Amino acid sequence: MRLWKWIGVAGIAGVAATGVVIARDERARRAYTPDDVRARLHERAAQLAAEPPPAADPGRLSRVSDRIRGLWDRLRD
C-alpha cells in the first residue's frame, strides 16, 4: 500500500509542476501587446528579406531529377 501512496504523490506533484510551467509560459506569451508582436514579425521579415537566397546545388538537382526519372520509368513498366 505504501508504494501506491508514493506513486500517487509523485503523480500529483507532476501534474502540479506541469500546471506551473504552462501558467508561466502563458503569462510570458500574454505579456506581448499586439503592437509588440507586429513589430517583431516585421523585424523578422526584414531580416529574411535582407539575406540572399541560398544558392542552388546543380549536382543535387540533377541527382533528384535522375531519381524521379528512374521512378517514373519503373511505374510505366
d(CA 63, CA 65): 5
pLDDT tens for 32-69 read 888 998 999 999 999 988 888 777 666 776 777 888 88
Q: Enter the C-alpha cell of residue 55.
A: 544558392
What is the separation of C-alpha 19 from the centre of its chain, rounded to a whole number of angstroms?
22
The residue type found at 53 is P
Residue in 19, 20, 12 with CA at minimum distance from that of residue 4? 12
Position 61 scores a pLDDT of 67
pTM, 2 dp: 0.38
Q: Give the per-residue pLDDT at 14.
A: 92
d(CA 8, CA 5): 5
What's the farthest any 2 CA atoms get from each other in the chain?
68
